[in-house]
Amino acid sequence: MAINTTAFGEAIYPHLTKPDTFFKPEGEYHLELKVKKEEALKDIKIIDDLISKQVAEEHQKRPGFTGLIKRAP
């Protein structure tokens, strides 16, 4: 598996050392990354390509499957 790094940007409300418990009592680590659209397009393409690859693999695992595989928005 290849390692990809995202474009540099501004971290918005990062929760990296302490979990955010505002919406989930068990907490979760996360951040939003603000980047310029031009720089983000490369990352978006990588993500879309990986999703397409996984969907294709699932279809190959189930020959004859005519249903839809749900994708995240």
Mean pLDDT, residues 47-70: 82
pLDDT at 47: 87
Which pTM does this prediction carry?
0.58
How is the chain split into domains, by residue range? 10-61
Q: Which amino acid is at 65?
A: F
13 φ/ψ sector (left φ>0, alpha ψ -120 to 50, else beta): left
pLDDT-based confidence at 8, cuts 50/70/90? confident
Helix H or strand E segment including 29? strand 28-34
pLDDT in tens, 10-58: 999 899 999 999 999 999 999 898 999 988 998 889 888 988 898 888 8
Query: Is 28 or 5 the better-scoring residue by pLDDT?
Result: 28
